[in-house]
């Protein structure tokens, strides 16, 4: 390696190319060898306390008649020893969602319903719906999910609520996507896995920067005392990640990654729909704290530099044993960490496919990043996807 550096140090362009690639690879090893490795070696922090809180489970919906029957069936199976409320917030549904809920209320003592007929101008419809659910919640401790999600077990609420001990205000859960055959599904699950590795690992290091609204819990009083969504209620996304980014810290946040506490969701079935969904989610990232944007940006940029500069370095410097050894070491550290983390999070991914998926992730991230600059997000995702499909 030293002979290559010495040979090309007189050529600024090639020298910069080589050094940039080496630095990018080194940064990737730091992230995957240290910062993002807590998932697979972190031991459970604590056990359920002497008492469990009363809970409000809040689900904001919009035209979910296809998802509600199965969701209600799954939620009714939850074994939670304390009093708990199942609160649905119906945001201007035009299908039979409300009728279905009213029928179920006759047989479910936990079930409560509130309806929204109009969203105030300048507010995110989904955030407004969730905030109305919070205001009407009977209990201080709240758990959130979406209508197209399914808890992995009947102990989901118990496991999430058991983390509310001492000063804990936020509980971060994991929400993988259902397994289906096909490369799109594989990549969607890989992207979700990378996201889970990053936000859960950093939370374990004391820097919670986001959560996922499909499996998230926090306290009503804390939410209201700190202004709720007021700082970002015009942005469609962010009812989960921006809220955690703004209010969560190492003292008030815990996590639950027991497989029985996972919440599974339905993945998109086309690349267009998936990219569109992720563009909406990525748009919230620009509102993160500066330190979090810097931390995540360094990871993504170094990933882009490592993969895209790899062929250029091989072209200019040839098949140097040292360069190949370094590149293989970086790929090995990335792949082993992701594979071990995937096993902890019950994700099915072959270690041999990880380098290919990680390379594809670079192009996906660049594409969604560029789309974020030009697309304004103002509606529920159901409306957005219909509009998107009509245009294309």
C-beta of residue 306 within 8 angstroms of C-beta of residue 21 = yes
Q: 3-class SS at 375?
A: coil
Burial 191-215 (b: 16+ CB within 10 A, else e): bbbbbbbbbbbbbbeebbbbbbbbb
Distance CA 55, CA 66 (A): 26
Q: Which whole number is the average pLDDT over 266-277? A: 87
- Sign of the dihedral through C-alpha 386, 266, 273, 243: positive
Closest Cα to residue 24, out of 278, 298, 346? Answer: 298
Whole-number CA gyration radius for the chain: 23
Burial 118-129 (b: 16+ CB within 10 A, else e): ebeeeebbbbbb
Distance CA 244, CA 250 (A): 11
Packing angle, helices 97-105 and 68-75, rounded to 10: 30
pLDDT of residue 392: 33
Distance CA 181, CA 239 (A): 31
Q: 3-class SS at 219?
A: strand
The residue whose two tokens read 């086309």 is: 270
Distance of CA 182 to the CA centre of its chain: 22
Distance CA 32, CA 335 (A): 9
Q: Report the share of the chain in percent with pLDDT over 90.
A: 66
| DSSP secondary structure letter of residue 33 | I
pLDDT in tens, 87-125: 999 999 999 999 999 999 988 888 999 999 988 887 888
Return the higher-pLDDT residue of 317 and 322: 322
Distance of CA 27 to the CA centre of its chain: 23
Distance CA 373, CA 250 (A): 32
pLDDT of residue 391: 35
Report residue 260: phi and psi, to 5°.
Answer: -70, -15
Distance CA 208, CA 226 (A): 17
pLDDT in tens, 351-387: 999 999 999 999 998 888 777 766 654 444 544 333 3
Question: What is the value of pTM for the model shown?
Answer: 0.89
pLDDT at 263 over 70: yes
């Amino acid at each position: 390696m030293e002979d290559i550096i010495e040979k090309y140090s007189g050529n600024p362009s090639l020298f910069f190319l080589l050094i940039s690639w080496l630095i990018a690879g080194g940064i990737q090893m730091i992230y995957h060898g240290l910062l993002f490795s807590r998932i697979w070696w972190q031991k459970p922090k604590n056990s359920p306390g002497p008492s469990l809180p009363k809970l409000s489970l809040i689900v904001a919906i919009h035209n979910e008649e296809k998802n509600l029957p199965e969701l209600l069936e799954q939620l009714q199976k939850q074994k939670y020893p304390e009093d708990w409320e199942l609160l649905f917030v119906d945001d201007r549904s035009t299908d039979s969602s409300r009728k279905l809920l009213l029928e179920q209320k006759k047989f479910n003592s936990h079930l409560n319903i509130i309806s929204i007929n109009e969203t105030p101008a300048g507010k995110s419809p989904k955030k407004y719906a969730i905030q109305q659910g919070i205001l009407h919640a009977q209990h201080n401790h709240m758990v959130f999910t979406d209508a197209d999600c399914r808890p992995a077990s009947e102990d989901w609420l118990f496991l999430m609520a058991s983390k509310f001990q001492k000063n804990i205000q936020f509980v971060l859960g994991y929400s993988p996507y259902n397994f289906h055959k096909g490369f799109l599904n594989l990549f969607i699950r890989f992207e979700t896995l990378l996201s889970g590795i990053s936000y859960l690992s950093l939370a374990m290091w004391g820097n919670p920067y986001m959560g996922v609204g499909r499996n998230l819990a926090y306290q009503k009083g804390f939410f209201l005392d700190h202004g709720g969504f007021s700082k970002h209620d015009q942005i469609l996304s962010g009812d989960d990640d921006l809220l955690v980014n703004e209010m969560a810290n190492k003292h008030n946040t815990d996590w639950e990654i027991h497989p029985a506490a996972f919440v599974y969701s339905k993945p998109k079935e086309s690349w267009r729909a998936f990219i569109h969904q992720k563009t909406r989610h990525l748009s919230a990232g620009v509102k993160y704290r500066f330190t979090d944007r810097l931390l995540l940006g360094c990871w993504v940029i170094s990933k882009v530099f490592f993969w895209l500069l790899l062929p250029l370095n091989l072209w200019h410097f040839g098949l140097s044993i040292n360069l190949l050894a370094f590149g293989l070491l970086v790929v090995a550290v990335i792949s082993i960490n992701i594979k071990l983390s995937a096993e902890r999070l019950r994700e099915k991914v072959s270690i041999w496919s990880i380098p290919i998926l990680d390379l594809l992730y670079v192009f996906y991230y660049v594409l969604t990043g560029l789309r974020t600059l030009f697309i304004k997000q103002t509606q529920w995702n159901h409306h957005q996807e219909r509009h998107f499909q009509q245009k294309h």
